[in-house]
Amino acid sequence: MNLKRVVITGIGAITPLGNTVEETWQGMLNGVSSAGKITHFDTTNFKTKIACEVKNFDPLNYFERKEARKYDLYSQYALVAAQEAIKNSSLDLEKINLDRAGVIWASGIGGVSTFFKEITDYAKGNGIPRFNPFFIPKMIVDIASGLISIKFGFRGPNFTTVSACASSGNSFVDAYNYIRLGKTDVFITGGSEAAINESGIGGFNAMKAISTRNDDPKTASRPFDKDRDGFILGEGATALILEDLDHAVKRNANIICEVAGCGLSADAYHITSPHPEGNGAYNSMKNAIEDANMSVNDIEHINSHGTSTYLGDISEAKAIVRLFKEHAYSININSTKSMTGHLLGATGATEAAATALSVYNDIIPPTINHFTDDHKIDNKLNFTFHKAVKRNINAAMSNTFGFGGHNVSIILKKYSE
């Protein structure tokens, strides 16, 4: 069938690097680490005392006090990012068909801070059920998608994807497919997360997934480095406006880049560990290249999943070498998680946005905090260590993988008529 072309026309972000997409992007280009001591709660009894928190966020700058109290922090982040993306896209909501405008949002955990607070308050209250009447709508993982739809009046498809850290990668793919099949004109897609609390840090500590380099937080996220000891938990949201090309051209939109293709796969291996040979990552990348009708030699940049976990980094590097062969060594690979930390369900959208901006601006943010090569990783690969690199980029890939073996690869390319 004749598939529609899909483009990105707007981006919004609130991340540990900045409360706008421009601040976030400049932080990435400058190689800034957003990690620091946790301020959201008392970490005295926790093994990990560091995270990548959003800074200087006051919900009352965006919401009325009464309204803000109805939203978990992950929903507040979602609405802020979506608002910026709409503005960035110059969409006139009075001139588009809102019945053909949808929202597919993602979160790995949803309102976990609300859930934790309500349950601990209940436990402290001697079993008396004094729950907040907004407990359920604040907590459920799909509420951010609903809130965005209500705010902007988008009456098209509206739902939430949940696939752990691949969640907003999946939301992006779903939105892309709806548009290219001709079922909608516009989507707000992306993801948000706000899990830096006692249960989030304690849970990841228990499974030994996050760094305990508490005395040196700025260098704690070390993707592909020999001495990496886990990821740094992050928070925030990124929203992207995906649009039918004809629709975008008709309204004279600024087109950031075109979506070339997407690939999905499953490891079918382990609940948290990636396949040791990177089989799932290999398949998702291969499927994306086939979907884009490209060859491996067309890819010039990969924004890797690159979490700074021992097994994950090795697995992904193996998959890249296996798929791209000799061409792998001419690709600029990076991990923006070295700067943002791991935004869990929001990470796919955040890194897709960074990839889109790399394609648009012909520059690749660095992977920071590399000190020692890991002999288990092919060090002929170019991980774009230390400094941003200017390079003409016609096609780039963003990888996102999640617990449960969920894998998403997205290919973006320069827009041309």
327 assigned to active site: no
Dihedral angle, C-alpha 167, 169, 175, 181, nearest 10 °? -120
CA distance 367 to 385: 5
262 assigned to active site: no
β 236-244/186-193 pair status = antiparallel
Q: Select which of 165, 257, 262, 406 is catalytic.
A: 165
CA distance 162 to 168: 8
Q: Select which of 247, 275, 301, 342 is catalytic.
A: 342
Sign of the Cα torsion 396, 27, 31, 211 reads: negative
Integer CA distances (angstroms), 270 to 185, 203, 280, in order: 38, 18, 11
Q: Select which of 275, 301, 305, 406 is catalytic.
A: 305
**Both tokens assigned to 340:** 């943002």
What is residue 255's DSSP assignment?
P
CA distance 340 to 356: 17
CA-based radius of gyration for the chain: 20
**Both tokens assigned to 50:** 């560091």
What is residue 234's DSSP assignment?
B
Give the three-class secondary structure for 239. Answer: strand
CA distance 297 to 380: 17
165 assigned to active site: yes
CA distance 40 to 43: 9
Residue for token digits 């609405």? 79
* Phi, psi torsion values for 268, nearest 5 degrees: 50, 50
CA distance 240 to 360: 14
List CB contacts of 308: < 8 A, sequence separation 6 or more: 211, 221, 222, 223, 225, 228, 229, 230, 231, 232, 335, 337, 338
Q: Residue 258: enclosing H or E segment and its boundaries?
A: strand 257-266
Question: Which of the residues are catalytic?
Answer: 165, 305, 342
